[in-house]
Amino acid sequence: MLDVIAIGEVLIDFTPVDSAGGSTEQYECNPGGAPANVAVALSQLGAKAALISKIGEDRFGSLLHQALLSSGVDVSGLSFTDEANTTLAFVHLDDDGDRSFSFFRKPGADTFLSSQDVPFDLIENARVLHFGSLSMTHEPARTATRAAVVKAKEAGALLSFDPNIRLSLWETEEAAKQNILWGLPYTDILKISEEELGFITGTTDIEKGSLELQQQFGIPLIVVTLADRGSYYRMTAHDGYAPGFPVKAIDTTGAGDAFLGCFLTKLLEIGNLLNQLTKQQIIDMLTFANAGGAVVTTRKGALQSMPTTDEINKMIDS
Ligand code: ADP
């Protein structure tokens, strides 16, 4: 039985070679894509994780395939296509290591994932299905992702959703929003940034926004990432904050994915009974996840920056 299956984009990030903020035309290639990063984070922390996605029959596809394999991720749901090139993204970093992305997409291979490519038997045997919204920008990946989500729900898996909004990838803001609204009713664990929460609920008050989303969609657990300030959670019976770890961030790409991978790892260690989690258990899980996110910000790259258990424990003890 698999612990977590992640479905969605896998791509190459082109990250500037110079330190943050420098103007440069030199880039290094780093494997990434949010669901892929989450799968690698989980695998590195000892969970059994798989990725369902699609890559091109090109050297970037081979690089991604190799990176996932060597991280111990189950790639039986990773297919190849000659219809499109592997997806490429250009990362721009500001002085605080915060990033923006522009995509070189026509669209890329991961959007060619079709329902025929989805290993539904694997999904039936997973404890958690993790999905994002970026595999739903184009067909056929939108239909394939939605079919996987519906199947996982029917099979009794927990659904983890990271809206991961990148408005530039959608035709309209409304399309981005509608897509997220599609995912929320299926969601058991929602990981969302405070900006995304504001975008969906229209309020900058994260406590109010989380409560509103929880009540509207019946989401058992909402976790809001607050960058260097750590994170906030809302369950039906309680809520709370876990502070962040002070670090010198140079590249925040992948921090949210590491955070989620760490959080899910701890959740799976405790068991599936979401509603029985105590406040202390969740704060401990968030502390571990905040430390994992903080570790990732101290180095460039995404998939290959995912933290180890030792690094996380050192950050917590520091
Ligand atoms: P997202 O990718 O969801 O927008 P964030 O940038 O908020 O994610 O990062 C996820 C988590 O990583 C945060 O909740 C925090 O725990 C940690 N983190 C992110 N940026 C920093 C930072 N500059 N310093 C310390 N921790 C950070």
Residue 232 is encoded by which pair of tokens?
């906030």
Pocket test for ligand 1, best of 37, 133, 297 (most atoms within 8 A of CB): 297
Tens-place pLDDT, residues 166-188 = 888 888 999 999 999 999 999 99
Residue 60 is encoded by which pair of tokens?
């970037």
CA of 294 to the centre of ligand 1 (A): 6
Residue 21 is encoded by which pair of tokens?
């903020």
- pLDDT over threshold 90, residue 91: no
**Cis amide prior to 140 (ω within 30 degrees):** yes
Verify whether ligand 1 is closer than 6 Å to residue 290 (CB atom): yes
H-state helical runs in 33-79: 34-44, 59-70
Q: What is the pTM of this model?
A: 0.95
CA of 230 to the centre of ligand 1 (A): 6
Alpha carbon nearest to ligand 1 atom 21, residue: 228
Verify whether ligand 1 is closer than 6 Å to residue 245 (CB atom): yes
- pLDDT over threshold 60, residue 78: yes
Order the strands of the 99-104 sheet from edge to edge: 27-32, 11-16, 87-93, 99-104
Verify whether ligand 1 is closer than 6 Å to residue 180 (CB atom): no
Which one, of 257, 298, 220, lies nearest residue 45 by Cα?
257
Tens-place pLDDT, residues 110-123 = 999 999 999 999 99
% of the chain exceeding 70 in pLDDT: 95
Structural domains of the chain in order of their starting residue, each with its CATH number: 2-317 (3.40.1190.20)
Verify whether ligand 1 is closer than 6 Å to residue 250 (CB atom): no
- What ipTM score was computed for the predicted complex, to two decimals? 0.98
% of the chain exceeding 90 in pLDDT: 82
